[in-house]
Structure 1
């Protein structure tokens, strides 16, 4: 079940982010940005959704940026990786964007080569690549259907 995150979910969201992003530290030479995100503030803003059964399986953070919806973060636990949880969460974001008639934009780190392959398969087009806050980011966009 996907639902809006509550303050009670913060610890599980942070643990999921740490589990999902720790493998990238060696490639990047530093912690990926989602590992240091202020999840309490994002939850308070109402921009974090969780997928759960008996426990948290994953989460997504997205919000309206005016001319597009920014999909800022999606992460799943190792236990459900490859089982469609991330795709289901991204589908929630895409449905929200479609309801508003806006494209979804997202970025990933260039060292996260798995993501560079996944997003085009999901219909996203690379639109930019640049250095930001010490990270080499690749931007993608998907227009509403």
Structure 2
């Protein structure tokens, strides 16, 4: 499985996922969410997603370095008049270098291209790092509730 190497954002590209990326996507999700399993008490929903179906539906985009190494991925799609950002994950070795932010900006650009007014997402309340990252990126908390056995925090960002 490719692992992130040294890279700069200028060397990164974002492309649609293909079926051959499925194992790397799964590995990235496992790596990115591993730290939360104990706090949540089970694997978070983004780890057990049906990546094959999401790839087939064109919902996953990959961030990769110049050598083709997978750095991270994002899952998003239009839903009910907005863009729904379902998952963003970055290999730990690439974390903190702007990969996640670049993927989220890509999602927002696609929402604007489709003339959708906002991006909505949720995260688990135990993923405390996300609770500070999303507001920093302009997302506003819109609610908290339990869904599918997970305590979720909902966010929204209106696009200009």
TM-score (norm 1): 0.98
Aligned residue for 1:20?
Answer: 32
Q: Deviations over 1:31-66 (max 9, x none)?
A: 100111000000000010000112100000000002
Structure 2 CA distance, aligned partners of 1:42 and 1:27? 27
Structure 1 CA distance, aligned partners of 2:148 and 2:17? 27
Structure 2 CA distance, aligned partners of 1:132 and 1:85? 28
Aligned residue for 1:139?
Answer: 154
Does residue 75 of structure 1 match 2:89?
A: yes
Aligned residues: 145
Moved over 6 A (4+): none
Q: Which runs of 5+ in 2 are unaligned?
A: 1-12
Structure 1 CA distance, aligned partners of 2:83 and 2:144? 18
How far did residue 70 of structure 1 move? 0.3
TM-score (norm 2): 0.89
Aligned residue for 2:5?
Answer: none
Equivalent residue of 1:31, what SS? coil
How far did residue 116 of structure 1 move? 0.3
Equivalent residue of 2:117, what SS? coil
